[in-house]
Amino acid sequence: MTRRPLVAGNWKMNGLSASIGELERIVAGARMLANVDLMVCPPATLLARFAGAARGSHVAIGAQDCHAQPCGAYTGDIAAEMLKDAGASAVIVGHSERRQLHDESDATVRAKALAARRAGLTAIVCVGETRNERDAGRAHEVVGAQLEGSLPDGGHDFIIAYEPVWAIGTGVTPTPDDVRGMHGFVRARLAARFGQMAEAIRILYGGSVKPSNAKELLTVEQVDGALVGGASLKADEFLAIAGVYR
């Protein structure tokens, strides 16, 4: 099975109203990239505006997090159904910054992935090990446990993003062999759990992806695209990364 690549941009806590100009440039550039899906995940304050600006284009709009419940007394939280209503088609869950800074467990991530399914969104489920875990030879153990605990049963309507925590925002990039080894491991784990359905699940790489290393990383076997952080804030850089699939 040939999986269509996806390059998604996680804007994190960046962007104001004027940032819609960058999205408009991404939308314009996406017309020249017929071989790859593009997605931008802005902060929640920009979600509806971005969805409106991207409507009818080749750029999907995603969200960065959701609550597990559809509604209720959860001040400051946003339900998956609300994200869908605002125009999102996907939502990132389990990003390392949520796992670390908000103490999110695998069970919490799984509940959010199920919420995404309930609302008709595609969950982008993030997994990845820290530097200490890798140095201790536990990278596969850690990622395997995250996959087991974070992924919902009963379907393959999600995307995996492997983001080595030690490479996020550090400028340190894994070697192609590092990426190949982990993506192959993830694919094998998916196959063991989901059977033939696993072949349809896209596995993205994330962690200091930039135009200068995109080709080296995104052409590795079993890499089906990228979840891009800081480089997605600038249209030219984001489109240059996606241009690997031109």
Which residue is catalytic, options 95, 129, 156, 183? 95
Which entry of 156, 163, 183, 237 is annotated as an active-site residue? Answer: 163
pLDDT of residue 1: 61
Query: In which band, very low, low, confident or very high, does the pLDDT at 154 lie, cut at 50, 70 and 90?
Result: confident
As a whole number, the mean pLDDT across the chain is 96
Domains by residue range for the chain, with CATH: 6-88+107-245 (3.20.20.70)
pLDDT tens across 16-55, in order?
999 999 999 999 999 999 999 999 999 999 999 999 999 9
Quote the pLDDT of residue 168: 82
Dump strand ranges (E) for the chain: 6-10, 37-41, 59-63, 90-93, 122-127, 158-162, 203-205, 225-228
156-162 mean pLDDT:
96
Instruction: Give the global pTM.
Output: 0.97
Question: Any residues with CB less than 8 A from the CB of 83 and at least 6 apart, and which?
Answer: 44, 47, 63, 66, 91, 119, 121
Tokens 């695998």 locate to 106
Distance between CA atoms of residues 207 and 163, nearest Å = 5
Are β-strands 122-127 and 158-162 bridged in parallel, bridged antiparallel, or unpaired? Answer: parallel
66 CB neighbour count, 10 Å cutoff: 28
At residue 234, the pLDDT reads: 98
Render pLDDT for 169-192 as a digit per residue (tens, 0 to 9): 777 889 999 999 999 999 999 999
Is 183 an active-site residue?
Answer: no
What φ, ψ does residue 64 adopt, rounded to 5°? -105, -15
Contact 95, 126 (CB under 8 A): yes
Residue 140 annotated among the catalytic residues of the structure: no
211-232 pLDDT, tens digit per residue, is 999 999 999 999 999 999 999 9
pLDDT at residue 60 tops 70: yes
User: What token pair was written down for 102?
Assistant: 């908000």
pLDDT in tens, 85-123: 999 999 999 999 999 999 999 999 999 999 999 999 999
